[in-house]
Structure 1
Amino acid sequence: MKDYVAYLDNKKRITLRGATYQYYNVKEYGNGCIILEPRELSVSKSISSRTLADMDRAVSNF
């Protein structure tokens, strides 16, 4: 567990030391608590048949 003081810079940004993820989901509560949950963006395994059909229609209309 890390314990350190962080501050906002002139552009209202904060720096996380040693952050292991690039994206975080932020939950800010009215009492001042802020919760950061790490998020990993991933590429989907496949494109659905519906999406492929929509793409085919768009290309044929073009």
Structure 2
Amino acid sequence: MPEAYVIGPEVAAITAVLLGNYPFSYLTNVPIDYMLMVTAVAMIANSGYNYFKSNLNKLQLNG
């Protein structure tokens, strides 16, 4: 997954948390800000894993 797609959920999650789940709290009792944050963290973790997996062969351990 390109890293550019990870930025969108990050921005949405941070905005929802800073606004106190403002627009969503009038529509539903579901914690949309929490769900967005969990989604963003999962995408960041996946992106980090893919980064290390693809660059592991370039890592030189001299020991």
TM-score, normalization: structure 1?
0.29
Rg bigger for which structure? Answer: 1
* Structure in which a larger fraction of residues adopt helix: 2
Which structure has more relative contact order (CA 8 Å, sep 6+)? It is 2
* Structure in which a larger fraction of residues adopt strand: 1
